[in-house]
Amino acid sequence: DAMVIQNPRYQVTQFGKPVTLSCSQTLNHNVMYWYQQKSSQAPKLLFHYYDKDFNNEADTPDNFQSRRPNTSFCFLDIRSPGLGDAAMYLCATSRETSGSYEQYFGPGTRLTVT
């Protein structure tokens, strides 16, 4: 009964080769988030969707794009991965952005750039 699913769990890509990470949810939550997390660091929010309303963080590089074609699915596209983009990418959902609604995380996709 997985609730937030991320595929693949491990992704290896070459420097500059576009890559897409996917996330799906069975919780029917309004909000979906993409985070980047490097070792021993805080998760860094890249963007989030409230339903189909896209919210980009000011310091998210243009190299990162996202799509949410429907409530259940969300994609992270990295157009030209650099060595500095190697990280764990976490997808999360929540019912609402406000109040006590916690975020539910997927297992993450560990991205390696060669």
Interface ranges with another protein (CB under 8 A): 40-45, 88, 90, 92, 97-100, 102-108, 110
Q: Which of 110, 93, 78 lies closest to 23, judged by CA?
A: 93
Measured from the CB atom, the residue of 47 and 64 that comes closer to another protein is: 47
Q: Least distance from C-beta 80 to another protein, angstroms? A: 26
18 dihedral zone (left: phi>0; alpha: psi -120 to 50; beta): beta
Measured from the CB atom, the residue of 36 and 65 that comes closer to another protein is: 36
Q: Which of 77, 60, 65 lies closest to 19, judged by CA?
A: 77
Q: Least distance from C-beta 87 to another protein, angstroms? A: 13
